[in-house]
Structure 1
Amino acid sequence: MAAKQQESRLSLKLLIDEKSNRVVAAEAHKEFVEILFSFLTLPMGTIIRVTSSGDTKNPVTSIGCMNNLYRAVEKLSNENWQTENCKTIVLRPRNPLGNYSQKLKLNIDESWSNTYYRCSRCCIWMSWYPNLSCTCGGKITRTTTAGIKNEGAFLQKGRTMFIISDDLQIRPSCPSVLAQLLYNLGLSDMDGIREMLVEVSKEQVIFLLARSLVSESALSDVFLPNNPTKHETKFPKPETESTLQTTEQNEAPTPTLNLQVTLNKSTNKILFAKATNEFFDFLCTFLTIPLGSIIHVLKRNFGGLGGCINNLYTSVEELEDKWFGSSAKSDILNAWIAQYHNCKKQPLNLDELIESKLLLDPRPNQNFAGEPLLFVVLDNLDVKPLSSASSSLILRELKLPFSDVEDQVITVGMNEALSLLKAALTSPSSALTNGLASFLQKKKLEA
């Protein structure tokens, strides 16, 4: 009980339209805005873990098929991984901007640490993970703590107020900004608008993070939980191959992966895929990429994710540089991937943020999965090691005549990877079909 009483909270003023019982805006100091910005620095694996509150089977909000992928990775035994550290990296990925988050008034990511380990023989090599073998023959066991810069979290010091819309558009506070926001909502004056002061808890911040990914009324969802009207985000369908080809011509060559998929010929629905350890590693990076970096790569062809989280990202883009400290703005918009959290063949062309050239790679051969291994990936991104037992079980559950089942091979490059990533975040049950079926259709017609 004492811990609850000592929990940090932040004050937030809500403006509520009494007629619609909806939050139309909030007024907040920079400390709350910085918490919202920190959402974009969190890897997807961290988001799934914290919004599940320790129970990945009963999350606060399901985010596409990402929860299925996280649970599948969680259930895989250690024999499917190069080392136990590889599984830890995927389930508890390092936030490449974790040093910023340590200065937040409410920090929901407790996995980041500035403690690292050095070689027992006192050589120069180090790691964020213990018990690695050093190149000199020693063991990485000695504990050392790195310093944290003294700057603020993301924004410059000061008591500037910000206006936040229900769908997380953020602007510096100004009467004209608020008036325009209310006018856009069909309100002509302040009559019928009541103010409500709330003390924001850590649990509410986590709920706000979850709703920002699936809703267009995140503030109302969190602070007016009995609101009968919830505005779920309607995500557009993934782009077709013909739409994406125009942009890929200007991209640098990217690595490709081959994926054998089994589909129902009658419906063109992908039933499952047979994946190599390289494709499994690629799927693992869906959990290690920070949210801001995901939106950054999707904006090339898809315009982001839509809904509140896209508005939040756009708000960072549109806020003047003067509001941010040093390189905070560009860091939020594209934090890259933490060092050694990428896969060897990455069709998304994402780079790692190098924290130190003296860090040892905790993954033998730069892989997460053991070699050689094959996996079955279901349409909802549930992943299982391929075995005769799992194969027969899948065939029994399909209940389809074998004559209606067909295998095809897809070459997964930038276009296919972008489409699959988008579908993984937005489709509740059919990520493979929604992400890759359009690439199958063209091939089928040409056959």
Structure 2
Amino acid sequence: MADKFEDGTTVSLKALVHKGSNKVIFVECVSDFLDVLFSFLTFPMGTIIKLGSKQSVESVPVQIGCMNNLYASVGNIDVQRFNNEVCRHKLLSPRNADESRCKDVKLKIDNGEFTKYFLCPDWNCLGVSEDEYLLSQYKGNLLSMYKGTRCENCGKCMDREYHLSSPSHADKYNGIYVKGLARLIVTDDLQVLSPLSGTSFSFLSKLGVTDGDITEETFNIGVSEVLNLLICSFVSKTPLTETLLKHKAEPDFITEISDPGTCTEPLMEGKTVIEEEEEIYVKLTVSKSRKIVCFAEAGEKFVNLLFSFLTIPLGFILKQMQNSSWKGCIDQLYKSVQDLGDEQCLNSNDLLNPRIFPGFSYENHLLGIEEGSEASYYYAYCRPNGVEDVLVTDKTLIPSQVRYTFHLKLMNDKSSEGFLKGPTMFTITDKLIVRPISPIFGFSILNELKVPLDDIKEEIVRVGKEEVLRVLVASIAGDSALTDAFIRQPKEQ
């Protein structure tokens, strides 16, 4: 097995394996592993791309639609084009709105890196005593999630670090996402099913498996296997086999479903936009003969929307993709949450409507995703009583020895106005590579696609919520997001 964290944390899985093809049929597991699986739905796409950047299948880096290109574009664009450095950091390292629960998941594929908070380090920055400083100053916007943010009172860098203290959800909810005593089975394509014998036998019968074809094996998996499972699930329908057995299944064991492409209707003509929506226009350069978008030119408002895809939790995206077909099977997790909700196996239905981390959205966000509730932060000053100061959102966690408690709120980093400065224009390829506008870049794209100048035409499209959602779905499902969203007819199935 691959390297684990130093503590050697693993989860045990009992698997039913098809001997002839060396393929996992399903695994039987308890809440520890199921909580890990369902936590995937809360991860922002930028986090998944960041974590998966070093993962590969058969030595080839895994590409999740166009998302890898979008993530790389954020890092390649000069930071001066962003409203500030924090705005770019939010896109490259987005926060999980459900991180307080995810911190209790047994296998943390994000290395347990949860939000850090920073306060001004200088007690005497206003020429007063420590206690006077606390009493007079820790009542306003003196809390930041980003080291080096300038204190609004003294202008110094906020670098005094605190982690948020929060209760264990595993204790409070008898499990995190799955009820503590629940035992379920997970198929090779990540369907989560009831472990009842009838269900299992029916599943085996459907696959044409007989008693002599199967064997039972036990696997201890760690963080690296879980991460590999997540990344493989975007590009494969057999991620458990590829993760546990390091072997691709024989194609004749289960008939593979061909990928019919993204099920989107063309948007070039006849589509309307809700009147209240802000007007955003994009100019498409289209190949007349091949009916593909070669590239687009758009202002910072459209690119803000594209970049915001990185902050959106996976579950929200899968909710939009329920009528789409693609190579992977990660969508089965979202469908399983829908099905299991009726069987009372889950602690809540929050996974069906995951939210974006507070402060990571911006005004006029056309996707309509809700932000998580903005927390009330409390800084408990305990010194000199021998108890560490704490930062909490739950007042019940404040130590009894506290001397002072101060209510804080996060500083405004201006991302509510958009991530990028404006007005400015960008060139966006069909694969969602984004660069500041450049005619040379446009010509190089045409040259690479072998599209002659006499074969192109320009189309102006107005972008509203429906169009943005289509681009979002297409950016996960394939490598031609603009063509799939604005032009391509759905393939016959």
Asked if structure 1 preserves the Cα contact closer than 8 Å seen for 2:291 and 2:488, the reply is: no
Q: Could you tell me which residue of structure 2 aligns to residue 406 of structure 1?
A: 457
C-alpha distance in 2 between matches for 1:22 and 1:386:
49
C-alpha distance in 1 between matches for 2:464 and 2:61:
33
In structure 2, relative to structure 1, the CA distance for the partners of 1:34 and 1:256 (3 Å cut) is farther
- Tell me which amino acid in the other structure corresponds to 2:163: T
Q: Could you tell me which residue of structure 1 aligns to residue 292 of structure 2?
A: 269
Normalised to the residue count of structure 1, the TM-score between the two structures is 0.86
Asked if structure 2 preserves the Cα contact closer than 8 Å seen for 1:277 and 1:369, the reply is: yes
Q: Could you tell me which residue of structure 2 aligns to residue 382 of structure 1?
A: 433
Q: How does 1:75-94 map to 2 (within 5 A)?
A: 75-94=76-95
Q: Could you tell me which residue of structure 2 aligns to residue 362 of structure 1?
A: 413
**Structure with greater Cα Rg:** 2
Give the CA RMSD over aligned residues. 3.0
User: Is the counterpart of residue 432 in structure 1 residue 450 in structure 2?
Assistant: no
Asked if structure 2 preserves the Cα contact closer than 8 Å seen for 1:118 and 1:124, the reply is: no
User: Is the counterpart of residue 161 in structure 1 residue 162 in structure 2?
Assistant: no
Give structure 2 stretches of 5+ with no counterpart: 122-136, 377-408
Asked if structure 1 preserves the Cα contact closer than 8 Å seen for 2:355 and 2:369, the reply is: yes
Query: How far is 1:245 from its partner?
Result: 9.2
Asked if structure 2 preserves the Cα contact closer than 8 Å seen for 1:254 and 1:348, the reply is: no
User: Is the counterpart of residue 344 in structure 1 residue 372 in structure 2?
Assistant: no
Q: Deviations over 1:289-337 (max 9, x none)?
A: 00001122344xx368685222111111121474333xxx332222221
User: Is the counterpart of residue 128 in structure 1 residue 145 in structure 2?
Assistant: yes
Q: Which moved more, 1:347-356 or 1:196-205?
A: 347-356
Q: Which moved more, 1:206-215 or 1:137-146?
A: 137-146
- Tell me which amino acid in the other structure corresponds to 2:315: G
Asked if structure 2 preserves the Cα contact closer than 8 Å seen for 1:216 and 1:233, the reply is: no
Query: How far is 1:202 from its partner?
Result: 1.2
In structure 2, relative to structure 1, the CA distance for the partners of 1:354 and 1:366 (3 Å cut) is farther
Q: Which moved more, 1:45-54 or 1:388-397?
A: 388-397
Aligned length: 427
Secondary structure of the residue that 2:298 maps to in structure 1? Answer: strand
In structure 2, relative to structure 1, the CA distance for the partners of 1:143 and 1:124 (3 Å cut) is farther
User: Is the counterpart of residue 289 in structure 1 residue 315 in structure 2?
Assistant: no
Secondary structure of the residue that 2:47 maps to in structure 1? Answer: helix
Q: Could you tell me which residue of structure 1 aligns to residue 211 of structure 2?
A: 190
Normalised to the residue count of structure 2, the TM-score between the two structures is 0.78
Asked if structure 1 preserves the Cα contact closer than 8 Å seen for 2:177 and 2:346, the reply is: yes
Secondary structure of the residue that 1:319 maps to in structure 2? Answer: helix
Secondary structure of the residue that 1:308 maps to in structure 2? Answer: coil
Match of 1:353 among 372, 380, 384: 372
User: Is the counterpart of residue 234 in structure 1 residue 259 in structure 2?
Assistant: yes
- Tell me which amino acid in the other structure corresponds to 2:183: M
Query: How far is 1:112 from its partner?
Result: 4.2
Secondary structure of the residue that 1:337 maps to in structure 2? Answer: coil
- Tell me which amino acid in the other structure corresponds to 1:239: T
Query: How far is 1:178 from its partner?
Result: 1.3
In structure 2, relative to structure 1, the CA distance for the partners of 1:117 and 1:235 (3 Å cut) is farther
Q: How does 1:165-314 map to 2 (within 5 A)?
A: 165-187=187-209, 189-229=210-250, 231=256, 234=259, 236-241=261-266, 254-299=277-322, 302=323, 307-314=328-335
In structure 2, relative to structure 1, the CA distance for the partners of 1:165 and 1:378 (3 Å cut) is same
Q: Deviations over 1:336-363 (max 9, x none)?
A: 2112222433222112213336222323
Q: Could you tell me which residue of structure 1 aligns to residue 395 of structure 2?
A: none
C-alpha distance in 2 between matches for 1:306 and 1:399:
27
C-alpha distance in 1 between matches for 2:455 and 2:303:
27
- Tell me which amino acid in the other structure corresponds to 2:95: R
User: Is the counterpart of residue 315 in structure 1 residue 330 in structure 2?
Assistant: no
Q: Deviations over 1:151-190 (max 9, x none)?
A: 2162455343211111111124222221122122123x43
Query: How far is 1:388 from its partner?
Result: 4.8
C-alpha distance in 2 between matches for 1:245 and 1:178:
48
Secondary structure of the residue that 2:423 maps to in structure 1? Answer: coil
